[in-house]
Each structure stands twice: as structure tokens, then as C-alpha cells.
Homo-oligomer: A and B are copies of this chain.
């Protein structure tokens, strides 16, 4: 969903289309779906799309699930493919809700093959 939305936005800026499309392909946003859906998505990114890295992104309460997804991906499903954690970054995003500023934590987990 989120990935598709980004793609649509990027398509309006023609000159950046290729670069942005490539950037978006290797990002998996964690939401309310089951862990295995995201693991499957990562598997496809590494195999079908032949990406060398995949970025798992999550905010707020989905951060725990993002770590589960990363761990299941590298330990159970891609043991033979030698998937490694290249980098983990945490940060804070600020947004406004009904006139109030709200902070939410974010995580980026970069997997490489």
C-alpha cells in the first residue's frame, strides 16, 4: 500500500522516476499484516528483483514486528543465502494531530545479501 502510494507520487516527477522507483523497490514497510507476509516480500525482493539490500521500515508499535521480520528472514528462511544485518537506525518523527505535536519512534533495518 504505502509503497504503491510512493510510486504514484514519484511518477509525477518524470526525471526522478527511475531512481525513485529503484529506491522504493527495496523498502518493506511493516504494518498490521502477519510477520510471514513481510518475510515473503523480503524473500521476493532478494530473489526476483535481485536486490543486494532490502530496508525494513517501521514506526511506533510496529517496531517490535520489524525486528521479528528481520530475525525470521535471516535466521529461518534465508540461512543458506547468507543474509546479514548491515545497519540499524532509530529516529523520531514528529507529526501534528488535532493541533498537537506528536512524536513517534521509527526504525530502519538494512539487510544485505
Contact among B62, B67, B91 with A90 in the assembled complex (CB-CB below 8 Å): B67
Chain B residues lying within 8 Å of A68, measured Cβ to Cβ, are 105
* A residues at B contact (CB < 8 Å): 60-64, 67-68, 70-71, 75, 85, 88-92, 103, 105, 107, 109
Chain B residues lying within 8 Å of A67, measured Cβ to Cβ, are 63, 90, 105, 107
Whether B88 lies near A70 (C-beta < 8 A) is: no
* A60 CA to B89 CA, complexed, in Å: 18
- Which of A89, A90, A91, A109 is most buried by chain B, counting CB atoms within 10 A of its CB? A90
Whether A75 lies near B63 (C-beta < 8 A) is: no
Whether A85 lies near B92 (C-beta < 8 A) is: no
